[in-house]
């Protein structure tokens, strides 16, 4: 089976706000995509909003979304969307690739997705091992991926080495949190993790691939279950 194509942040390609309903609707009409990737954040009143950044400009300073109510988020970030609205837009047209940005309310988010899309209509990814564990314990039938490729900002040299080693050699983490797939930064995947995952029977979702040559190559790489790109319209041409 050829790899599935995931539209990163709804595939806006500079024409629409990322993670917006407009981006999602457009890419589903204009590209041959199988999954729509979007970022879920939890507000202060435990609402689920689709927004990539962890904070919003408010009164001349950046305020974390987790400190704002849903109403405040939509007032100051009008292109943000409700999780339920995005799910309704995707239903029957593609699968949802739900990237969790906060290590809380994971099971509630999963339940919201399952209520709209059914258990086979979405996959969940997260950088947090504990979030994977919670979902696997509470909803073992759901597809949940451990993401490898955390950003390095603010980390010292020793922490960087430890982090990257845990991603290049993820066996202990996989054994501990039991994901059903790995969502792997493409550079790390090519460094041996893809081979390791194939050997251990774990599907791989590679992210985020934007180089045209790489997109053409991965479109036919059967070692990969799915791949994410910021340019789904271009990627569709190579399928």
Q: Name the helix (H) or strand (E) containing 146.
A: strand 144-148
Q: How many structural domains compose the chain?
A: 1
CA angle 147, 153, 156 (to 5 degrees): 105
- Measured CA to CA, the distance from residue 1 to residue 219 in angstroms comes to 11
Q: What is the pLDDT of residues 66-114, one digit of tens each?
A: 999 999 999 999 999 999 999 999 999 999 999 999 999 999 999 999 9
Q: Name the helix (H) or strand (E) containing 145.
A: strand 144-148
Contact 56, 76 (CB under 8 A): yes
DSSP string, 122-163: EEEEES-HHHHHHHHHH-TTS-EEEEE----TT--HHHHHHH
CATH number at residue 189: 3.20.20.190
Q: What is the pLDDT of residues 137-179, one digit of tens each?
A: 999 999 999 999 998 888 899 999 999 999 999 999 999 999 9
Per-residue pLDDT at 194: 97
- The structure's pTM equals 0.94
Domain range enclosing 74: 4-237
CB atoms within 10 A of CB 93: 12
Cα–Cα distance list, 180 to 114, 139, 184 (Å): 17, 12, 13
Residue 160, SS3 per DSSP: helix
| Assigned token pair, 71 | 């109403």
- Identify any residues that bridge with 159 across adjacent strands, giving them in sequence order: none
Detail the DSSP E strand segments found in 11-140.
35-42, 48-50, 55-58, 61-64, 81-82, 95-100, 122-126
Rg for the chain, CA atoms, rounded:
17
Phi, psi of 7, deg, nearest 5: -85, 110
Q: Tokens 């460094």, residue?
A: 191
- Measured CA to CA, the distance from residue 113 to residue 122 in angstroms comes to 7
Percent of the chain with pLDDT over 90: 95
Q: Is the pLDDT of residue 58 over 90?
A: no
Per-residue pLDDT at 153: 86
Q: Tokens 């790109």, residue?
A: 229
CB atoms within 10 A of CB 141: 9
């Amino acid at each position: 089976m050829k790899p599935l194509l995931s539209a990163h942040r709804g595939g806006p390609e500079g024409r629409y706000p990322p993670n917006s309903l407009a981006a999602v609707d457009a890419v589903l009409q204009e590209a041959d995509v199988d999954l729509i990737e979007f970022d879920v954040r939890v507000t202060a009143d435990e609402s689920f909003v689709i927004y990539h950044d962890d904070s919003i400009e408010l009164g001349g300073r950046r305020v974390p979304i987790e400190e704002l109510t849903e109403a405040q988020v939509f007032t100051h970030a009008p292109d943000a969307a409700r999780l339920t609205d995005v799910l309704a837009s995707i239903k029957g047209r593609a699968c949802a690739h739900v990237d969790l940005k906060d290590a809380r309310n994971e099971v509630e988010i999963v339940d919201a997705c399952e209520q709209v899309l059914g258990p086979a209509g979405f996959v969940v990814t997260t950088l947090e091992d504990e979030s994977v564990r919670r979902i696997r314990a509470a909803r073992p039938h759901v597809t949940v991926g451990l993401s490898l490729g955390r950003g390095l900002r603010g980390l010292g040299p020793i922490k960087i080495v430890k982090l990257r080693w845990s991603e290049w050699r993820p066996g202990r983490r996989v054994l501990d949190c039991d994901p059903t797939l790995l969502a792997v930064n493409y550079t790390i995947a090519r460094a041996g993790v893809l081979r390791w995952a194939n050997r251990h029977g774990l599907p791989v979702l590679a992210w985020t691939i934007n180089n045209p040559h790489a997109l053409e190559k991965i479109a036919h790489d059967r070692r990969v279950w799915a791949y994410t790109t910021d340019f789904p319209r271009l990627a569709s041409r190579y399928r």
